[in-house]
Structure 1
Amino acid sequence: MTTTRRCAGALLSVALLVGVAGCTSPSPTGDAVSTSAAPVVVDHQFGSTTIPANPRRVVTIGSGWSDTLVELGVPITAEFVVQGYAGPDNRFAWTPRHDSTVIPYAASAGAPGVADVARFAPDVILAGYLPDQGVYEQLSKIAPTVPVMAKGAVNDSWQDLTIVAGKIFGKQQRARQAVDDVDTRVAAVAAEYPAARRKTFSFGQLTADRQFGVVASSGDPSSRLLEQVGLTLDPAVRNTGANGQRVIVSAERIDLLRSDLLIFWPLVGGPETFAAIPGWNDLPAVRSGATVFLTNDDASGFGAPSVLSVPWAVEKLRPALARLR
C-alpha cells in the first residue's frame, strides 16, 4: 500500500530550510553605495510587505537569505539557524566567513521565538519558510517581515532571492551579475555531461522512521536547479505530489525511486542506513553508482539552493553525472 502525505515537518523546515554563520564579509563589488531610493514592496504568500528604504539592522531566518546577503556584501545583524542542520559550527561549507550573531533554535519549534528575534531590534526580518500565517503576523509586529514569496511553495528560488535582495538593498546590478555568473557555471557543467539530458532524478531524505521524504514538484527550487543541469524530475515521484511540493512516501513503495540518478540523505545515520531498506540496492541508480549521498550538514545546498550553494551543489553532482549513459 502506498503511503503518501504532504510533508511540512522535517523535510520542509529542518534539513531543507536551514541557515548559515561565520565571521568577515567578502569585499563589495559593483553598486558601491548600498542605498535604495524608496521603500520596496515585496509580494509574498501571506500578502505583501513594505520594507523601508535602507534597512540597516537585518535579521535572517534560514540559509537562503543569509547566503544571498553575504554574496551581495550586505551586513547581517543576526542569523537564526536550525540546531543540527546548519553545517559544522553553524556554517555551511559554501558560505564565506562573515560578521553576524548566530542563534540556533530547535527544529521542533518550527521558528525562532518572537522575543528572541525582537531583542535585535531589526529594521527588516527576511524569514523565508514560516510554519503558518500566525507566526508571520507575530514577527511582523516586530519589523517588516518577508516569508516565502512564491505562492504555495516552501521556499523561493535562489534567483528570486538574489534579485529581490538587490532591490531591497540597492544592489540591483550586483545581484543581476551574481545570478548571471552562477547560471553560466551551471550551464558549463550541463554542457560537460550531455548524457544527463532528460535523465530522471529523485531527491529527498530518509526519515528516522524509515520513510522517504521526496520533492514531488518540478517547480520546487531544488528541482529547478537539477533541471538546469539537464535532468528531469522522475514522473513516478512527481505524480505523488498532488497535495504539495514535498511528500512522504513509505519504504514499501521504493519502486517509485527507480530514477536514473538519486540524491538522498538520512536524518539519522550515514549512507549505510539505506542498504537496510529492502530493494534499495536493486535500484538502477544505486547499481550504476549514479547516487549522491548528503548529510544534515549539507543537504540544504540542494534542498534550499542559494546563490552561494549552487556552485557547490553542481560540483557535488559531477561523479554521479559521469555515471549516466
Structure 2
Amino acid sequence: MHAVRRRSFAAALLVTLLFVAGCTGANSAAPETDTSENSSGAFPLSVSHAFGKTDIPQKPEKVVTIGWIAHDITAALGVTPVAVSSTSSDAGNGYSPWFEDQVENENNDELPLILTQTSDGPDYEEILALEPDLIFAPHSGVTEVQYERLSEIAPTVPYEQEAWLSGTWQHVTEFAGTVLGESERAEQLIKDTEQTIADAAAEHPRLQGTTIAFGVNLFEGSDQLSFYTSPEDPRVALIHDFGLVDAPGLSELEADGFTSSISLENLNDIDAEVFVAWGKPEQSQRTLDNPVAQRWAPIAEGRYYFTEDSDMTMAMSAPNVLSIPWLIEEGFLDDVEEALDGGAVIRSAP
C-alpha cells in the first residue's frame, strides 16, 4: 500500500455528515422579481420563490440567514447578518474561518448570533426578538410550514425551486445582490472570484484536463463509493472551473439524490487520474484498508486527496465568493496536483 502523508491544521475537530444532504445545482437563470429597476437596488421589490412571492419594502439592514452559503454572501455584500445557522467548523464555534475574517476584519463588526435549532426548525421566538427586516434562506431545507411561520416575523425569502438547490455560486450571489439591493457589488464579487479561479487554474496547468472522481469515503458497512456527478452541482461546477474533468465512467452511473454510487467491485469502470473525497478519519482508513478498493488504480498508486478537515470540506461543499479564495489559499489545488503525482495526500482533522 502506498505510504500516506497526512497534513494537520490547528483547530478543534468537528466533521459532520450534513454535506451529503446539501449543495447541488439548480436553475441558473436570473432571479425573478416584479420590480423592473431592482438591478439598481430599487425598493420595494417582489421576489418569486418556491412558496410564492415575498415583498421587500425597503433595503434590508437586519438580516437573519438560514442554511448554508447565504451568510457568507450576505457578509461579502457588506451586510453582516444579525443571526446565522451554525456552520460545521474545525474551531467548533459555528463559524467558518472565511466568514469570521469577513465580518471582523472587512466589515469591522461583531460575529452574529448562532441560531438555536429545535425539532420544529429554527427558534422562532429567538428570531422574533432580533426584529429582523429580512430572513434569507436561499440554500436551506426550510419547509413551507416553517416559511409561513418565519413570514409572520419578517419578509422571508427561501430557495427559488427546491430545498438545498440554489444553483451555481454565481447565481446565488446574483440572487442575494438583488434581494439585498447590492446588485452592482454582487456583480463585482462574481467577476473578482472568477478571476481568482482563473488565476489559480493558470498556476496549475498540469491539472487542466485531468480526470477526477470526486466523492465521499466509505461509510461503515458500505460496499459502494459515492461520487458527485451532476454538472450543476456547485461542487462539480467548481472542479470544472479549475480545469479538471469528470473521469470516464462517471456519466454512466445512475444518480440517487445528490450522488451516484458504484459497487467497489466495479470501481475499475471509473478511469480517474485522481480521486478526491471527504470524510471522517475512520472513513479514510476504511477506504484505504478495503482490499477491493485497494485494487482501484487511484488508491493503489496513491493518486488521492482526502480531507478530514471540516473547514475544507465545507469550502468544497458550499463554494461561494468567500470560501473559494480561502480554499485556493489553503492549497487545495497544490494538494490535488501532489496527489496526481502519487503523493497520497490526506488533510487531517486538527
* TM-score, length basis structure 1: 0.76
User: 2:128 pairs with 118, 131, 138, which one?
Assistant: 118
Aligned to 2:334: 318
Q: Which AA in structure 2 matches 1:199?
A: T
Work out whether residues 215 and 246 of structure 1, in 8 Å CA contact, stay in contact via their aligned partners in 2: yes
Provide the rounded CA distance (Å) in 1 between the counterparts of 2:166 and 2:78: 22
The reply on whether 1:74 has 2:62 as its aligned counterpart is no
Aligned to 2:94: 90
Provide the rounded CA distance (Å) in 2 between the counterparts of 1:122 and 1:69: 14
Q: Which AA in structure 2 matches 1:304?
A: A
Aligned to 1:221: 234
Provide the rounded CA distance (Å) in 2 between the counterparts of 1:250 and 1:109: 35
The reply on whether 1:56 has 2:61 as its aligned counterpart is yes
Q: How far off is 1:93 after superposition?
A: 2.6
User: 2:153 pairs with 113, 130, 142, which one?
Assistant: 142
The reply on whether 1:302 has 2:308 as its aligned counterpart is no
Task: Note the 1:151-162 alignment, pairs <5 A.
Answer: 154-162=165-173
Provide the rounded CA distance (Å) in 2 between the counterparts of 1:204 and 1:304: 14
Distance 1:322 1:295, change over 3 A: closer
* TM-score, length basis structure 2: 0.71
Provide the rounded CA distance (Å) in 2 between the counterparts of 1:41 and 1:169: 12
- Gaps of at least 5 residues in structure 1 are 1-8, 18-34
Q: How far off is 1:248 after superposition?
A: 5.6
> CA deviation digits over 1:226-259, x for unaligned, max 9?
1101112335334435453435656565456552
Aligned to 2:70: 65
Q: Which AA in structure 1 matches 2:54?
A: T
Q: How many residues align?
A: 296
The reply on whether 1:170 has 2:181 as its aligned counterpart is yes
Provide the rounded CA distance (Å) in 2 between the counterparts of 1:319 and 1:255: 23
User: 2:275 pairs with 247, 262, 285, which one?
Assistant: 262
Work out whether residues 207 and 268 of structure 1, in 8 Å CA contact, stay in contact via their aligned partners in 2: no
The reply on whether 1:240 has 2:260 as its aligned counterpart is no
Work out whether residues 284 and 306 of structure 2, in 8 Å CA contact, stay in contact via their aligned partners in 1: no
User: For 1:94, what is the secondary structure of its paired residue?
Assistant: helix
Provide the rounded CA distance (Å) in 2 between the counterparts of 1:110 and 1:12: 21
Provide the rounded CA distance (Å) in 2 between the counterparts of 1:116 and 1:247: 39
Distance 1:238 1:126, change over 3 A: farther
> CA deviation digits over 1:20-75, x for unaligned, max 9?
xxxxxxxxxxxxxxx94313333334444333321122111234111112212112
User: For 2:69, what is the secondary structure of its paired residue?
Assistant: helix
**Rg comparison, structure with higher value:** 2
Distance 1:169 1:154, change over 3 A: closer
Give the alignment's Cα RMSD to 1 decimal: 3.2
> CA deviation digits over 1:163-216, x for unaligned, max 9?
222222332222211111111111112223333233322323236435444323
The reply on whether 1:133 has 2:161 as its aligned counterpart is no
Task: Note the 1:266-305 alignment, pairs <5 A.
Answer: 266-267=279-280, 269=282, 271-286=284-299, 287-305=301-319
> CA deviation digits over 1:5-29, x for unaligned, max 9?
xxxx844447x69xxxxxxxxxxxx
Work out whether residues 158 and 221 of structure 1, in 8 Å CA contact, stay in contact via their aligned partners in 2: yes
Distance 1:231 1:64, change over 3 A: same
Distance 1:218 1:152, change over 3 A: farther
Provide the rounded CA distance (Å) in 2 between the counterparts of 1:278 and 1:295: 25
